[in-house]
C-alpha cells in the first residue's frame, strides 16, 4: 500500500468509483475526486454536514450523511436533495434501478433518480450501518449483528448472523457474502440467508470491505488492512499508517482506502 497526498487533514469516510472518477467524502462536507487514485482535487459540496458514504449508479454520484443527501453527475458540481428525514444516513448503494440509503433507528430510503426519496419499512428500530447491492440482492447490516435482505429495496427480511457485534459493511465475491464489524468480526454466507463466524486474526474494528482482483479487502481502526482470497482465511497487511480507515473500493485496477487525518492509500 502507498500513501497518497490528499491535501487536507479531514476525516474521510466512504469512497467509490464511477464515470472514470474516484470520489471520497468526509466529515465537514469535504469531497475529493481523482481519475487515478494518486492525484486528488478538492471539490465544493455546498454543505458543512458530515458526509459518511458515497455511491455511483445510473450516471449519478450520490452521497449521504447526517440527514443530508447530495447528488452529482460529474463529481464536481453537487446539488442538495430533500431526504425527508433528520436522522443520520450511514450508507447508500445502487442496484436493480434503485438507490437505497440506510441509517439511524432502522430508517431505509429508496429513490429511482437520486432526487425524490421514499421511506420504506425495515421492520426494526435498530440502526442500520451499511448496505450494498450484491449478487442481485440488497443486503443491509447494523447494530447487534443485524442483517436484512431485499430483492427490490422495498420489502426486507431479517436473517440469522450468529453474532451480537455491530456490523458495518458487506460485499460479495467468489460465490460468498462477507460482512465485517466490531472487534475484528468477519462473517460469511454462501446464500445470504445464514452467516458463519470466521477468524480474522485481529480485535480491531473493521469498517468497510470490498472485492476485486479475486481478493477480499477489509479495512479498519489503527490502519488495519486484511486480505483474503476465499473470505475464510485472512492475512494482515502492512498499511503504513496507524490512522483509522473507514472506506475501501476497487475499480480501475486499483484498491483505494480512505480514513482519518486525510489518509488515502492505494494498492494494485
pLDDT tens per residue across span 248-257: 999 999 999 9
192 falls in which pLDDT band (50, 70, 90)?
confident
Instruction: Give the whole-angstrom CA distance, residue 179 versus residue 27.
Output: 24
Q: Which of 242, 268, 244 is nearest to 256 (CA)?
A: 268
User: Confidence band (pLDDT; 50, 70, 90) for 89?
Assistant: very high
pLDDT over 90 (residue 161): no
Q: Average pLDDT in the 159-187 region?
A: 96
Average pLDDT, the chain: 97
pLDDT at 3: 98
Q: What is the mean pLDDT of residues 219-246?
A: 98
Q: Is the pLDDT of residue 80 over 90?
A: yes
Paired strand residues for 252: none
In this model, does residue 193 exceed pLDDT 90? no
Q: Which residues, at least 6 apart from 71, have a Cβ–Cβ distance to it below 8 Å? A: 60, 61, 62, 63, 78, 79, 81, 114, 115
Helix (H) or strand (E) holding 215: strand 215-220
pLDDT range class, residue 92, cuts 50, 70, 90: very high
8 Å CB contact between 249 and 210: yes
Across the range 228-238, mean pLDDT stands at: 97
Say if residue 162's pLDDT is above 90. no
User: Would the pTM count as exceeding 0.75?
Assistant: yes
pLDDT attached to residue 199: 96
Rounded average pLDDT over 210-218: 98
Structure confidence at residue 237 as a pLDDT band (50, 70, 90): very high
Residues of the chain with pLDDT > 70: what percent?
100
| pLDDT of amino acid 45 | 95
pLDDT exceeds 90 at position 221: yes
Amino acid at each position: 500500500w502507498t500513501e497518497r497526498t490528499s491535501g487536507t487533514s479531514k476525516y474521510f469516510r466512504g469512497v467509490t468509483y464511477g464515470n472514470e472518477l474516484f470520489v471520497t467524502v468526509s466529515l465537514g462536507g469535504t469531497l475529493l475526486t481523482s481519475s487515478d487514485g494518486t492525484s486528488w482535487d478538492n471539490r465544493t459540496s455546498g454543505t458543512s454536514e458530515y458526509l459518511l458514504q458515497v455511491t455511483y449508479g445510473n450516471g449519478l454520484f450520490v452521497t449521504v450523511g447526517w440527514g443530508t443527501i447530495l447528488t452529482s453527475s460529474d463529481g464536481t458540481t453537487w446539488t442538495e436533495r430533500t431526504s425527508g428525514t433528520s436522522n443520520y444516513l450511514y450508507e447508500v448503494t445502487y442496484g436493480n434501478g434503485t438507490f437505497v440509503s440506510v441509517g439511524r433507528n432502522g430508517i431505509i430510503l429508496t429513490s429511482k433518480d437520486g432526487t425524490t426519496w421514499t421511506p420504506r419499512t425495515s421492520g426494526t428500530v435498530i440502526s442500520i450501518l451499511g448496505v450494498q447491492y450484491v449478487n442481485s440482492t440488497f443486503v443491509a447490516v447494523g447494530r447487534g449483528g443485524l442483517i436484512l435482505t431485499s430483492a427490490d429495496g422495498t420489502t426486507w427480511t431479517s436473517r440469522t448472523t450468529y453474532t451480537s457485534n455491530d456490523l458495518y459493511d458487506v460485499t460479495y465475491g467468489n460465490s460468498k457474502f462477507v460482512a465485517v464489524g466490531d472487534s475484528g468480526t468477519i462473517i460469511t454466507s454462501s446464500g445470504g440467508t445464514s452467516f458463519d463466524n470466521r477468524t480474522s486474526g485481529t480485535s480491531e474494528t473493521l469498517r468497510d470491505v470490498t472485492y476485486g482482483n479475486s481478493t477480499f479487502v477489509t479495512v479498519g481502526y489503527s490502519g488495519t488492512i486484511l486480505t483474503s482470497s476465499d473470505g475464510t482465511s485472512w492475512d494482515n497487511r502492512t498499511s503504513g499508517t496507524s490512522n483509522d480507515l473507514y472506506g475501501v473500493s476497487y475499480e480501475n485496477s486499483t484498491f483505494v482506502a480512505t480514513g482519518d487525518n486525510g489518509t488515502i492509500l492505494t494498492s494494485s
